Amino acid sequence: EDSATVRQFTIEALKKGGFVNLQVFTNGKEGYEFVKNNPESVDIIISDIEMPEMDGLTFCKKVKESKELKKIPFLFFSSLVNDMMRKKCDSVGGEAAYSKPEVDQLVKDLQSFLGS
């Protein structure tokens, strides 16, 4: 997430939902480098779509093209989500796409997805 305000709001909501071990990056390139170098410490990826340096669609595509990383669930959380964008997210291997500010639904689905 590249917006500091949205990033902080989302972090607080995730922590409130019981997700406390978070790694946060401001662009897809930093996120991808972390995931690539620390795959064992990543249970799930939540990414914005529109970010500097590497957008979320490219980030997801790179993760899903990697034999070592492709099993990590990838979720999108963006203000750009509509039916057409959901299809693009699906086409690069994303498991789900949530519209900002649907953070409550995101947290609920994460708890279900990860069995929390």
The identity of residue 94, as a single letter, is: G
**22-71: per-residue pLDDT in tens?**
899 989 999 999 999 999 999 989 899 999 999 999 999 999 999 999 99
Task: Give me the domain span that covers residue 80.
Answer: 4-113
Say if CB 56 and CB 79 are below 8 A apart.
no
Total domain count for the chain?
Answer: 1
pLDDT in tens, 20-33: 788 999 899 999 99
- Domain of 45, CATH number, reads 3.40.50.2300
